[in-house]
Amino acid sequence: MQLTVWTYEGPPHIGAMRVATAMRDLHYVLHAPQGDTYADLLFTMIERRSQRPPVTYTTFQARDLGADTAEIFKRAAAEAYARFRPQAMIVGASCTAELIQDDPGGLARALDLPIPVVPLELPAYQKKENWGASETFYRLVRALSGPAPAPGAPRPGAGGRRPLCNILGPTALGFRHRDDVAEITGLLGRLGVDVNVTAPLGASPADLGRLGEADFNVVLYPEIARAAAQHLQKTFGQPMVETVPIGVGATRRFVAEVAALAGVDPGPVLEGAPSRLPWYARSVDSTYLTGKRVFIFGDATHALSAARIAATELGFRVVGLGTYTREFAREVRAEAALHGIEALITDDYLDVEAAIQAVQPELVLGTQMERHVAKRLGLPCAVISAPVHVQDFPARTSPQMGFEGANVLFDTWVHPLMMGLEEHLLGMFREDREFSDAAPSHLGGKPRAEAERSPAAAEPEPVTTVTLAPGQIVAWAAEAEKELRKIPFFVRGKARANTERYARERALPLITVETLYDAKAHFGR
């Protein structure tokens, strides 16, 4: 276990909470000490849910360790059932309570509650949040979806109805899961396919009992739903659609795959595809942005999709690709190889920051951690994956999937580049009298004339110090830093790195304007 300021994933019991919070009439009894009960903040403050997650904590304290903590758990479970009357219950332990080895599953069975109780074995010191969500959903589906039908038995209600599918994978605290479900449900409806159950998001334990009635399953988020879908395929003979419909190309493949399973014509939906991304990507402004170098990091679903969209639909060049989802490392490495790069598989944000600095991309697509890193490095950035913060749970509908999701992606990814270009052009012409009062509209800064009148404007700019390697430090003179800012934003990072490398190789303690131009001439040969 590693202590860190930021983390991409919490322990696996947080994944279990994401499933429980997404569902209705399901309650989670968590054996946890005082201090492990912080997860409420994730849902009520970050996702802005209107109710607390359906979790009861035992909340034992240090003084209880000398007594019977098992009795504390049994009392909490009995009280939770009496108070909430759920259709089903899941029980487990947090990472700290796991060390006590009280066996919540066995203790819950001893209570003989009149509802299904699903025990969770979530090894907190070997696995993490997404695995915990996947395992929890799998255990619930396995326990509640019912037994396998008799060989040759017809599917319930199969005659005289439209094709029926389940949508699997969306959870609480997922990146745009609510909006993705709305978009894909509408897309399936236009194809002539009805949705039987969407789970975990919005489903009840009783709904999980109806999963076997569908003709096939749609797996929107493989990290969460692949294991459950494989169980349903084995038990009920339901095929699954694993194409994740993010981007125009993937959405078209998704439509074709669903149509083949449902026996419907995809033509009307494909011909009437409403996405404007292909046209925008061919427009003048976007052509000017073609070839920009992009670094991508996030969960496997969104990182893989982003790499394909960036390279094949927007004309970007992928110079970095990685994920913190180690269970999908093979798929990410295979995709990275197609772009001629080596995948970054890590859960340490400092490794990701170092990789971004090394390749000096012109755009970063990542999580909220990469947003902070890019801001510090002065790079445009768009968030494409959890973990995210409150601003990435918008009140408006903003899907990532489907044809409308492709429109959202174009706006989200390209606008930071275009606004950065605006800032650079304003900076280039700032000495022109016509533009003397101009400031980038998206930065909210003071006009130049007003800034020059303020006392702070007369103060000299501080020297920037940059650590290049252990024991080696190079400083930038204020005038050199000012000159560097005249370089276009999309090559400024590379110019900085080359100049620092030039200074380090020549043991120059201070980078001046002359050093900057000497380095430019050296690397321009």
Annotated binding site for [4Fe-4S] cluster: 36
215 tagged catalytic: no
Residue 290: CB atoms within 10 Å = 12
Cα separation, 158 vs 221, whole angstroms? 27
DSSP code of residue 42: I
Binding residues for substrate: 420-421
Residue 277: CB atoms within 10 Å = 25
Contact in structure between 86 and 25 (CB atoms under 8 Å):
yes
Contact in structure between 355 and 293 (CB atoms under 8 Å):
no
Contact in structure between 174 and 18 (CB atoms under 8 Å):
yes
Residue 126: CB atoms within 10 Å = 8
At 27, give phi and psi (nearest 5°): -125, 145
CA atoms within 13 A on the CB side of 18: 32
Binding residues: 36, 420-421
Write down the catalytic residue from 103, 180, 215, 285: 285
Count of residues in the chain: 525
Helix (H), strand (E) at residue 434: none
Identify the residue whose tokens are 């194409």.
243
Q: How far apart are the first and last CA of the chain?
A: 49
**Amino acid symbol at 255:** V
Contacts of 258 (CB under 8 A, 6+ apart): 165, 188, 191, 193, 216, 218, 241, 266
- The residues assigned a catalytic role are 285
